[in-house]
Chain A
Amino acid sequence: MIDYNRVLSRTTQEIQPSGIRKFFDIAAEMDDVISLGVGEPDFKTPWCIRKAGIESLEKGHTWYTANAGLAALRVEIANYLKRRFSLEYRPKEEIFVTVGGSEAIDLAVRALVNPGDEVLIPEPSFVCYNPITRLAGGVPVPIATRAEDHFRLTPEQLKAALTPRTKLLILPFPNNPTGGVMRQEHLEAIAQVLRGTDVMILSDEIYAELTYGGLRHVSIASVDGMWERTVVINGFSKAYAMTGWRLGYAAGPQPVIKQMIKLHQYAIMCAPTTSQYAAVEALRNCDDEIEAMCEQYDMRRRLLVDGFNRIGLTCFNPEGAFYAFPSIRSTGMRSGEFCMKLLEKERVAVVPGDAFGASGEGHVRVSYSYSINHLIEALKRIEHFVNELKA
C-alpha cells in the first residue's frame, strides 16, 4: 500500500485549496440556491466569434499552431493593445498566446522568480498569485489594500514593502474581488517609487475592458519608464465572454517573453487552435460587442451597489471588473460565517472575502454577471436575511 502523504510533493501538499471551491462544494449540494458566486460572464460568446471558430473547424484547421500562437493573432493582439491602451509591442518578439491569462501568470512568475525572491501581492486579489509564487520558490509578500484607499495600492504601501530581495510586483487591476482600479495618476505614483529599481511588474489586466465611469483602463506599461519592467497579461475570457475557449496572452520585453515561451513550449506546446482562429475575429470586429456588454454590467453594478448600501452592508463603489465587495462588519459576523448562514437561511451563495487573502475578511464578493431579475431576487433575499439578524 502506497502512503500517498509520503510520495506526494511536500510543496504541493502544503498549498491550500481555494476557499471559493470549498464553499461552493457545499452550495452545490443544496436545492434552489441563487448564486452570485461565479467569476465569468453570463453572456455567451458573440456569435461572429463562435462562427469563426466553427469555420476554422470546417476548414480543417485542426493542427497545432506555432508555440507562440498564430502569427495573425499576434499581429491582431499588437493592434488591439495599441488601439485600446496605446501600448506598443512587436508581434513576433514581444507577444505570445497562452491558455488563458492564468497560464501567462504562472509562466511570468516562473520566468522571473529565483528561490527566496519576494513577490509583492496586493490583496484581496485573485487566488493564484500566492501559490504560484510559492511553487516557484518565491516568497509571497501580501500588501493589504484598503476600502478607504478604494482598494488601490498606494505608493506608501509599496515603498514600505520594498526590500533588496523584492523581485516582482503583481498589479491585479481592475481587481477581482474588490472592483478597485488604478487610474493614470495612481499608476504614476507607483511608477515614481519603482523608477531606478530593478523591480519587475506583472500587470494582470484581464478585466481591462470592464471599467466604468467613462474613463478607460490605463496600463502601467504605458507609464514612462515602466514598459521595460512590465509583463502585461490579458486575455479573451472576460472582455469577449470567452472563458471556455481558454485563451490569453502575455506582452512584454523580448528577453522575458523569450523565457516564458520556452516554459510554454515544454508545458503546453501551444494554445488551442480553434480558439486562436476565433480570437482573430474577436479582435478584428468586436469592439462594439464588448462595449455593449460593458454597458449592461454597468447598470447591474449600480443596482447592486445601491442595493447593498440600502440594506446597510456598506459597499465601496467598484469601478471595474464585475464584482461588488460589500462590508459585512455591521452584522458582527466573520465573512465565512455570514456566507454560510446566508446560504443556509436564504439560499444565496456569495464568496467570503477572506478567500482572496486575509485582508478580505469582513467583506464578501458578489458577482454581477447575472441578469437583472436574478440580482433583484438575490438582493431581496439578502435584505430579508440582514433584517432578520437585526430583529
Chain B
Amino acid sequence: MNEKNTRKLLELLEENASLKPEQVAVMLGEKCEDVQATIASLEKQGIIKGYKALIDWDKTDRDLVNARIEIKVTPKANMGFEEIAYTISQFREVETCYLMSGGYDLALTISGKSFKDIALFVAHRLAPLDPVQSTSTHFVLRKYKERGIMMVEDFEDEREVTSL
C-alpha cells in the first residue's frame, strides 16, 4: 500500500478502530488482504499501539474520578527525564504521562475511585519519589471532548429538508 493510503488508513482507524478491514479496503480502493497485511505490519512496527473503546463512565454506576497532575522533577544525570517518566508511567492509575515545556515537567492524567483515592496516590506514591520536587493536582469536573469525540451532547444534524 502506498504512503498516502497508509496514512489514510491510520486516520480512519484513529477515528473508528472498529472499522473492518474489508470496509477500509473498499474506502481506500485496496484489496482486503493488503489492508490486513498493512495493519499487521503497522502493529508490528508499533505504529498502531492498540485499540480501545472510548467509554463515558459517568453514564454507568462505576465511580471514577479523573485528575490532571503537574509535576516538577529534578532530571537525573545521563538519564534526563526518561527514568522518572518511565517509573511514573508504570503506575496502573496513570493514564497519560507527557513531558512538557513550560512551567512544569511532567503532566499526568490519572483516575481513581474517589478524590481521596487520588489524593492518597499523590501523597503516597508520587510525592515520595526522589526526583519529584512538587506536584499540583487538578480534578476534572466535566469532560466535554475526549480524543476528538464530543462527550456532552450527541451530534445533531441541523440540515433541513430542501428540494434538490
Q: List 25 A-B contacts (CB under 8 A).
A: A20-B161, A20-B164, A21-B163, A24-B161, A25-B161, A35-B157, A38-B161, A38-B162, A39-B164, A40-B162, A40-B164, A42-B159, A127-B163, A295-B8, A299-B8, A299-B12, A299-B27, A300-B27, A302-B26, A302-B29, A303-B23, A303-B27, A307-B26, A372-B27, A376-B23
Q: Mark B19-36, 1 if CB is under 8 A from A, else 0.
A: 100010011110000000
Chain B residues within an 8 Å CB radius of A38: 159, 161-162
Chain A residues within an 8 Å CB radius of B28: 299, 302
A373 part of interface (Cβ distance < 8 Å): yes
Chain A residues within an 8 Å CB radius of B19: 372
Chain A residues within an 8 Å CB radius of B157: 35, 42
B133 part of interface (Cβ distance < 8 Å): no
Chain A residues within an 8 Å CB radius of B27: 299-300, 302-303, 372
Interface size, chain A (Cβ < 8 Å) = 28
Q: How far is the CB of B97 from chain A (nearest CB, A)?
A: 31
A28 part of interface (Cβ distance < 8 Å): yes
Q: How far is the CB of B1 from chain A (nearest CB, A)?
A: 14
* Docked pose: A28 CA to B157 CA in angstroms: 13
Q: How far is the CB of A210 from chain B (nearest CB, A)?
A: 14
Taking CB atoms and an 8 Å cut-off, the chain A residues in 273-311 that contact chain B are: 295, 299-300, 302-303, 306-307
Taking CB atoms and an 8 Å cut-off, the chain A residues in 2-18 that contact chain B are: 17-18
A176 part of interface (Cβ distance < 8 Å): yes
A126 part of interface (Cβ distance < 8 Å): yes
Q: How far is the CB of B149 from chain A (nearest CB, A)?
A: 11
Task: Tell me if B16 and A18 are in contact (CB < 8 A).
Answer: no
**Nearest CB in chain B to that of A176: its residue:** B164
Q: Mark A359-372, 1 if CB is under 8 A from B, else 0.
A: 00000000000011
Q: Mark B78-110, 1 if CB is under 8 A from A, else 0.
A: 000000000000000000000000000000000
